């Protein structure tokens, strides 16, 4: 969203949480504050978050969403869903917004969640992936 290039390779060796969201999406608004809290809580443990903003034709709406929810992690602007189509549909259904993936330190998808997620649901999953790949 800020125009700087970022990709999963930038996070090699770390646990990465990829969250697909849109400013127009009610469930995305519902989970955003939880994601911001989890990201701040797990940052020192080597967990990195990366957002994919989809179906927002205008970056201004997406940036407003990020500011409103205090999302400190980078998000890629994907207005047409092109980035989502690079993922296997079994892991990340481009029709299921929001969606979240947890990728282990070796770059493997360890968790795939279609739909909104809460801090209480995602926190233990991240902890388990951290333990498995330590």
Read off the CATH number of the domain in which 62 is found. Answer: 3.40.30.10
Whether 37 is in a domain gets the answer yes
Is residue 75 predicted with pLDDT exceeding 80?
yes
What pLDDT, on the 0 to 100 scale, is given for residue 5? 87
Average pLDDT over residues 57-63: 94
Q: Contact 98/115 with Cβ under 8 angstroms?
A: yes
Domain that holds residue 89: 21-132
What pLDDT, on the 0 to 100 scale, is given for residue 10? 87
State the average pLDDT for the chain.
94
Is residue 119 predicted with pLDDT exceeding 70?
yes
Whether 80 is in a domain gets the answer yes
Average pLDDT over residues 43-53: 96
Whether 13 is in a domain gets the answer no
Whether 7 is in a domain gets the answer no
Structural tokens at position 21: 């969201």
CA pair distance 42, 100, nearest whole angstrom? 16
Average pLDDT over residues 39-61: 96
Give per-residue pLDDT as tens, 6-30: 878 889 899 999 999 999 999 999 9
Is residue 125 predicted with pLDDT exceeding 70?
yes
Average pLDDT over residues 45-49: 96
Average pLDDT over residues 74-102: 93
* Number of compact structural domains in the chain: 1
Whether 11 is in a domain gets the answer no
CA pair distance 65, 25, nearest whole angstrom? 10
Whether 5 is in a domain gets the answer no
Query: Bridge partners of 17?
Result: 49, 102
What pLDDT, on the 0 to 100 scale, is given for residue 133? 59
Whether 8 is in a domain gets the answer no
> What is the pTM (predicted TM-score) of this model?
0.95
Whether 58 is in a domain gets the answer yes
């Amino acid at each position: 969203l800020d125009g700087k290039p970022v990709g999963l390779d930038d996070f090699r060796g770390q646990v990465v949480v990829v969250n697909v969201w849109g400013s127009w999406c009610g469930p995305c608004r519902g989970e955003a504050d939880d994601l911001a809290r989890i990201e701040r809580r797990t940052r020192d443990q080597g967990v990195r978050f990366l957002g994919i903003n989809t179906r927002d034709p205008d970056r201004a709406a997406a940036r407003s969403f990020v500011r409103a929810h205090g999302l400190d992690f980078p998000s890629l602007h994907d207005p047409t869903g092109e980035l989502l189509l690079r993922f296997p549909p079994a892991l990340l259904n481009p029709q299921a917004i929001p969606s979240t993936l947890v990728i282990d330190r070796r770059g493997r998808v360890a968790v795939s969640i279609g739909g909104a997620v809460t801090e209480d649901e995602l926190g233990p999953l991240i902890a388990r992936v951290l333990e498995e790949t330590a």
